[in-house]
């Protein structure tokens, strides 16, 4: 109970809120010509030029130390930026994973050479990373990792396969969870993280088309890939602890609340019009907001813990699980509302946005950990397992 009870109401500091107006002005112009059904893709939307533009403004790697090309600013300032990126549906998918979790992971566990090589390019929006955690036939059971890196005279020899690796076909590096000793029966023991240059010989990346027609998920195959000795991230055998700390960055952010927010905003704009206004729609809007507000407060409270260099693993799992429930409820509830109307009265772009979000919503419970895994972690945090 202690870990859950540790979340306290936290406000975003005024100096961080002061950024919001400038960011909104930039995004209003930058996203003005992007249709809503495209903006709904947001953090899966791949646009390197947009990422470079953010890097030029100093809006990537804001929390990285200045000596590694970052801004040396606070986690709350970054939080404000990310909230606005998602609310506008900005195409941030190119740099998203690198800036959100690969960079912070390297800051905490990487060598000085890894930091100096990788972090400045992430902050410039010119280097992208993917996550190598999931494997075939394992679901979300990370402890069953079979991909193996064996030590040799040149460093580490990598063999195996990763799957559901977002944007691997566009990325420069993968931070992979691999087995460096023991067998799968050893579960969490014998696991390490390695930094993999995806241009190395022996690597094959194969995109997977999803239900919505996009191909941002990938399979990645490693066939005798020779990594250098300094590819190891952190300490050998401590991959389990490291990857759980990394997942706190992935599970706690506003993207676990706002994946359907572009659709919600489009629908709100419609039900404010004379043609769209109905009492039951107004009640639904209130229901959604009353569920969103406490989740946002919890997400902000976790940011404070991350800013204090704590690792709120259980709290992040709670926000991710309940955030996903809300993200999937929004398209389902809006579909009920819109499909009960005369089709001719509903704007075509709104229906296109609803169609896309409805197609992609089932994957919300897969990315970042399945519902059963997260609820198991929460139960463990409550002392029930």
Which residues have C-beta within 8 Å of that of residue 202, sequence separation ≥ 6?
158, 222, 223, 224, 225, 226
Helix 239-252 to helix 313-339 angle (10° resolution) is 40
The pLDDT, as a whole number, for residue 151 is: 96
- State the Cα–Cα distance between residues 132 and 242, nearest whole angstrom: 13
191-197 vs 217-228, strand pairing mode: unpaired
Q: What is the pLDDT along the chain (385 residues), one digit of tens a residue?
A: 455 566 677 889 999 999 999 999 999 999 999 999 999 998 888 999 999 999 999 999 999 999 999 999 998 999 999 999 999 999 999 999 999 999 999 999 999 999 999 999 999 999 999 999 999 988 777 888 999 999 999 999 999 999 999 999 999 999 999 999 988 888 889 999 999 999 999 999 999 998 888 888 999 999 999 999 999 999 999 999 898 877 777 776 788 889 999 999 999 999 999 999 999 999 999 999 999 999 999 999 988 887 787 878 888 888 899 999 999 999 999 999 999 999 999 999 999 999 999 999 998 888 777 888 889 888 988 888 8
The pLDDT, as a whole number, for residue 1 is: 43
Please say if 113 is a catalytic residue. no
The pLDDT, as a whole number, for residue 4 is: 53
- State the Cα–Cα distance between residues 65 and 107, nearest whole angstrom: 9
Which residues have C-beta within 8 Å of that of residue 21, sequence separation ≥ 6?
none
Which residues have C-beta within 8 Å of that of residue 304, sequence separation ≥ 6?
8, 10, 75, 76
**From 99, 135, 250, 255, the catalytic residue:** 250
The pLDDT, as a whole number, for residue 252 is: 67
> How many other CB atoms are there within 10 angstroms of residue 349's CB atom?
13
Q: CA angle, corner 334, sides to 331 and 339, nearest 5?
A: 115
Residue with tokens 């809300």: 326
Closest CA to 96 of 133, 60, 49: 60
CATH numbers and ranges of domains, the chain: 3-127 (1.10.540.10), 131-238 (2.40.110.10), 252-382 (1.20.140.10)
**Is residue 340 within 8 Å of residue 273, measured between CB atoms?**
no
- State the Cα–Cα distance between residues 34 and 41, nearest whole angstrom: 11
Residue 250 zone, left/alpha/beta (φ > 0; ψ -120 to 50; rest):
alpha
Residue 136 zone, left/alpha/beta (φ > 0; ψ -120 to 50; rest):
beta
């Amino acid at each position: 109970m202690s870990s859950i009870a540790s979340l306290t109401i936290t406000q975003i500091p005024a100096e961080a809120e002061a950024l919001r107006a400038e960011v909104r002005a930039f995004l209003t112009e930058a996203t003005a010509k992007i249709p809503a059904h495209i903006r709904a893709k947001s953090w899966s939307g791949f646009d390197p030029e947009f990422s470079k533009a953010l890097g030029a403004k100093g809006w990537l790697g804001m929390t990285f130390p200045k000596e590694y090309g970052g801004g040396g600013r606070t986690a709350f300032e970054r939080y404000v930026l990310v909230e606005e990126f998602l609310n506008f549906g900005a195409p941030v998918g190119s740099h998203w994973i690198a800036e959100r979790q690969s960079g912070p992971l390297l800051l905490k566990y990487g060598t000085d050479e890894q930091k100096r090589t990788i972090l400045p390019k992430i902050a410039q929006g010119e280097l992208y990373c993917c996550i190598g955690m999931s494997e075939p036939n394992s679901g979300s059971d990370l402890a069953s990792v079979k991909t193996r890196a064996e030590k040799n005279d040149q460093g580490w020899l990598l063999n195996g396969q990763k799957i559901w690796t977002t944007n691997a076909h566009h990325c420069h590096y993968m931070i992979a969870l691999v087995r460096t000793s023991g067998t799968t029966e050893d579960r969490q023991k014998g696991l390490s993280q390695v930094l993999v240059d995806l241009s190395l010989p022996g690597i094959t990346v194969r995109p997977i088309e999803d239900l919505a027609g996009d191909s941002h998920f990938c399979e990645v195959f490693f066939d005798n890939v020779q990594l250098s000795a300094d590819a190891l991230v952190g300490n050998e055998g401590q991959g389990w602890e490291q990857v759980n700390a990394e997942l706190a960055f992935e599970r706690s952010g506003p993207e676990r609340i706002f994946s359907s927010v572009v659709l919600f905003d489009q629908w709100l704009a419609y039900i404010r019009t004379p043609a769209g206004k109905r009492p039951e729609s107004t009640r639904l809007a209130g229901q959604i907001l009353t569920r969103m507000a406490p989740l946002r407060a919890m997400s902000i409270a976790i940011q404070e813990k991350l800013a204090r260099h704590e690792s709120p693993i259980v709290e992040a799992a709670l926000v991710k699980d309940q955030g996903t429930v809300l993200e999937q409820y929004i398209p389902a509830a809006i579909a009920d509302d819109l499909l009960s109307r005369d089709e001719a009265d509903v704007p075509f772009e709104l229906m296109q946005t609803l169609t896309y979000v409805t197609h992609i919503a089932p994957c919300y419970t897969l990315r970042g950990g399945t519902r059963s895994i997260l609820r198991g972690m929460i139960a463990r945090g409550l002392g029930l397992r």
